[in-house]
């Protein structure tokens, strides 16, 4: 009996003693939950940057035209020249972004880098010019809904350039977004601030479709450049690409401003601007700043999650603009626009759902436990063998 009592005392003492392994696992679990909450908080913050920056910049662009602005090249310049705002963010964030999404160890030659920056810069500059023409004659609500087609173009070009699979869900998304944009071609509404001819409406419509296609193409080409030319996807590499491409695109837009002769009318445009010269300058400054707020949010989402997610968030924010247009510009939200918006949101949700499935399958194949999963770090791959995660 005494021996049994001693064994019971020892057992109780062992029970009271903390197991170092268990304590370590609890600490790691607590840290992982804390990191997860911080990550999703940051995702929420930068998502807000993308949606608010894009929405406010588009509204300011509309205000520029409404109050007497007429320079398409100046409207293009302000979309691009604010990129120096990214430099403090770059210097501040480079120390915190130590992870590398992919690094093949082979740095691209300077010649190849320059060619990539020049090609993408010219494409982005032309793309922003098409957006400026589109916003000139289209009601802002119509303009933003057509821009939702950029997601469909991104998926289309990714199929050819990045070997993305066109699953039934993706095809459904493409069809819905295409119908959503094409419906607005039959919209007969006129802009509230000036008479717009049918030819001008069609011109802006075509330019906006072309700009959406150009934006989708630029994202696919960026992904191609990272995989085939730059062969690295570090934070500094992503920021270098964005800054140098913005520099080239800014130069293209400034050359266009002077070559077109529009610079000669800027002084009279400022004098005749309805709210006054100060408002004219402030509109241009804040348009440039808000586009860079959008770029900061987009850059973080591209690096920390994916370019597809960043693009999807941008499209998610587009329905916000028609609502603001109804409030500030009294745009008419007719039945055709409502149907177009519903189809665009439906197409967006289909697109996001497909990438959610892809991400889930990828994590499963790599043995990474998904949220709510009780699997251990060891998981079975697609062929049935066990896969060790880096944590193990």
Count CA atoms closer than 13 A to 388's CA, side-chain side: 3
Ramachandran angles phi, psi of 380, nearest 5°: -85, 135
Give the pLDDT score at 101. 56
* pLDDT digits (tens), the chain, 392 positions: 545 544 444 444 444 444 555 455 555 555 566 777 787 788 888 889 988 998 899 999 999 998 999 999 999 999 999 999 888 878 887 766 655 555 555 677 889 999 999 999 999 999 999 999 999 988 887 888 888 788 788 888 888 888 877 788 888 887 887 787 777 666 655 554 457 888 898 899 999 999 999 988 988 888 888 888 887 777 788 888 889 999 999 999 999 999 999 999 999 999 999 999 999 999 999 999 999 898 888 877 877 776 667 777 777 776 677 777 777 777 777 777 788 788 878 887 887 788 778 778 877 887 766 544 444 333 333 333 333 333 33
Count CA atoms closer than 13 A to 32's CA, side-chain side: 10
Give the pLDDT score at 387. 32
Give the pLDDT score at 324. 75
DSSP alpha helices (H): ranges in 260-306?
266-271, 277-304
145 closest CA partner among 379, 380, 346, 350 = 346
Domain boundaries, the chain: 38-91+109-364
Give the pLDDT score at 384. 35
Give the pLDDT score at 323. 74
Give the pLDDT score at 386. 33
Give the pLDDT score at 356. 77
pTM: 0.78
Give the pLDDT score at 24. 54
Phi-psi category of residue 233: left, alpha or beta, with phi > 0 → left and psi -120 to 50 → alpha: beta
């Amino acid at each position: 009996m005494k021996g049994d009592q001693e064994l019971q005392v020892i057992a109780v003492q062992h029970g009271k003693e903390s197991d170092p392994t268990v304590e370590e696992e609890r600490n790691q679990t607590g840290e992982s939950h804390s990191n997860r909450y911080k990550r999703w908080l940051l995702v929420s913050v930068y998502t807000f940057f993308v949606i608010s920056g894009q929405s406010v910049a588009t509204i300011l662009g509309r205000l520029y035209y409404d109050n007497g602005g007429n320079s398409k090249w100046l409207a293009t310049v302000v979309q691009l020249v604010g990129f120096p705002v990214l430099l403090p963010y770059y210097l501040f964030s480079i120390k915190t972004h130590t992870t590398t999404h992919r690094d093949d160890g082979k740095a691209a030659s300077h010649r190849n880098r320059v060619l990539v920056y020049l090609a993408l810069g010219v494409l982005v500059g032309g793309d922003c010019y098409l957006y400026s023409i589109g916003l000139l004659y289209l009601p802002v609500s119509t303009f933003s809904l057509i821009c939702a087609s950029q997601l469909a173009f991104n998926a289309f070009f990714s199929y050819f350039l990045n070997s993305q699979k066109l699953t039934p869900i993706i095809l459904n998304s493409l069809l819905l977004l295409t119908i959503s944009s094409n419906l607005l071609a039959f919209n007969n509404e006129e802009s509230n601030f000036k008479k717009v001819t049918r030819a001008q409406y069609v011109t802006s419509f075509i330019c906006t479709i072309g700009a959406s296609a150009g934006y989708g193409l630029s994202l696919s080409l960026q992904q191609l450049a990272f995989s085939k030319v730059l062969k690295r996807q570090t934070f500094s590499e992503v920021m270098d690409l964005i800054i140098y491409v913005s520099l080239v695109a800014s130069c293209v837009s400034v050359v266009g401003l002077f070559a077109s002769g529009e610079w000669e009318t800027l002084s009279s445009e400022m004098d005749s601007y309805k709210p006054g010269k100060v408002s004219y300058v402030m509109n241009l400054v804040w348009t440039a700043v808000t586009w860079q707020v959008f770029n900061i949010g987009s850059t973080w989402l591209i690096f920390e999650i994916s370019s597809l997610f960043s693009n999807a968030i941008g499209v998610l924010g587009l329905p916000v603009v028609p609502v603001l247009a109804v409030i500030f510009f009294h745009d008419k939200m007719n039945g055709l626009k409502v149907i177009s918006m519903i189809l665009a949101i439906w197409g967006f949700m289909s697109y996001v759902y497909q990438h959610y499935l892809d991400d889930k399958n990828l994590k499963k194949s790599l043995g990474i436990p998904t949220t709510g999963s009780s699997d251990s770090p060891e998981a079975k791959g697609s062929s049935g063998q066990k896969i060790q995660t880096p944590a193990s």
